[in-house]
Amino acid sequence: MPKIEVDIKRCKGCELCIVACPEGVIALSKTFAPSGYYPAMMAKPEACTGCRQCAYVCPDVAIEVWK
């Protein structure tokens, strides 16, 4: 099953990955990261297809996609 890993130290919660995800897999966390932002996280892991759109649009290179 595909999954994403978000580096919470790099993620600034810009929400570009949320908009780019065609399956609506990603949401912002409800807890702060050490950087002071709400990082992205997998909200619906079962829906991830591993398309990598989230990683392509991430300006902070904070997302890795695993198939």
What pLDDT score was predicted for residue 40? 98
Spell out the alpha helix ranges (H) of the chain.
16-20, 53-57
For the chain, the domain total comes to 1
Whole domain around residue 46: which residue ranges?
3-66
17: nearest Cα among 46, 47, 56: 56
CATH of the domain at 47: 3.30.70.20
Low-confidence ranges of the chain (pLDDT < 50): none
For 16-31, b/e burial (b = at least 16 CB within 10 A) is bbbebbeeebbbbbee
Quote the tokens at residue 60.
């902070």
pLDDT of residue 35: 86
Q: Looking at this protein, which amino acid is placed at residue 24?
A: G
